[in-house]
Amino acid sequence: MTVTKDESAREGADDKGDMTGGAGVPGDDYTPSERRLARERYTRARARRATAIAALSTLVTAAVLYLVVVDAPGWPRTKETFFSAHYAREAFPKVLEGLWLNVRLLLVCGAAVLVLGMLIAVARTLRGPVFFPLRVLAAAYTDFFRGLPLIINLMIVVLGVPALRLQGVTVDPVLLGGTALTLTYSAYVAEVFRAGIESVHPSQRAAARSLGLTNRQALRYVVLPQAVRRQVPPLLNDLVSLQKDTGLVSIGGAVDAVRAADIIVGRSLNYTPYIVAGLVFVALTIPMTRFTDWVTARMDRRRAQGGSL
């Protein structure tokens, strides 16, 4: 359906005439023109057609995938090994009980990561030659822990620290695993915060200084609030990743959702508990992911409208 420039102009005139009672005087009763009604009918029909096509395409794709999987030669054995209803019912309550440990780790480690990451980011952005050693240490920290695989970091901390037999140092795998998670994710979050700090235009700091604020006050009241608001979406993404990686503390023997599933698998030689644990983590992650998408879309709309970030 192609509308030319002249037709569009005539349509606008028709609509205007309808709204003004046809004589340039605003009328009480508004009657849309036939052209406008036709356009709205076309738009609704096009939306219904697009919805129907999307639904049909989804159904066809799902049917094809189902047939491919079910018709596979090893499907009966796979179904028995990975999708057993009996072992799913047995594993579900124990996985949920272990999931509470993952949630607690997320809350505690998430708060620690935000605080430590902010401190490291501020240290990397300090000015002046006197802060050079601090900037070097902060840069070395982020480079090291961003390059070190998380699983290796966990093994070093969870297995290596108890081997040292240090007096007064805990050997609890939960605490040690949480420490390793905090060390790794603080490096990532520090870079997110640093990017936010450096995205604030220098004129903001200069304006704050011209009003009589010190460097520390300008950083606290002007730079950091803007930096944090701008970096909310990537920070939420890091927290989603942290939520999933809390399952890695099970390598030290901590009984979380993954370890609870592993215990049942080791006894039954059936892998359905792993599927249950994975689905539980997915169910926990989806709300956080959708919230992140909502925040990102909201900030994009405000940016497009020229609002403050």
Distances (CA, A) of 3 to 7, 8, 39, 45, 50: 6, 6, 10, 17, 21
Q: Which of 241, 236, 239, 247 is nearest to 100 (CA)?
A: 247
pLDDT one-digit tens code per residue, 141-151: 999 999 999 99
pLDDT one-digit tens code per residue, 3-42: 444 544 444 544 444 444 444 444 556 787 888 888 888 9
- Compare 301 and 244 and report the one with higher pLDDT: 244
| Amino acid in position 24 | G
23-32, 69-78, 180-189, 288-297: least confident range: 23-32
- DSSP result, 258-274: HHHHHHHHHHH---HHH
10-24, 118-132, 186-200, 231-245: least confident range: 10-24
Block residue for tokens 């390598």: 251
Residue 306: pLDDT above 70?
no
What's the mean pLDDT in 148-167?
89
pLDDT for the residue 28:
55
- For residues 217 and 211, give the distance between their C-alpha atoms in angstroms, rounded to a whole number: 11
Element (H, E) at 99: helix 85-125
pLDDT for the residue 102:
92
pLDDT for the residue 88:
92
pTM beyond 0.85, yes or no: no
pLDDT one-digit tens code per residue, 162-217: 888 888 888 888 999 999 999 999 999 999 999 988 888 888 888 888 888 888 88
Q: Which of these CATH numbers, 1.10.3720.10, 1.10.645.10, 4.10.93.10, 2.10.60.10, describes 92-304?
A: 1.10.3720.10
Contact criterion met (CB below 8 Å) for 84 and 272: yes
pLDDT one-digit tens code per residue, 246-260: 988 888 888 889 999
Percent of the chain with pLDDT over 70: 89
Question: What confidence category does residue 261 fall into, taking pLDDT thresholds of 50, 70 and 90?
Answer: very high
Domain ranges of the chain: 92-304
Average pLDDT value over all residues in the chain:
84
Half-sphere exposure of 72 (CA within 13 A, CB side): 12
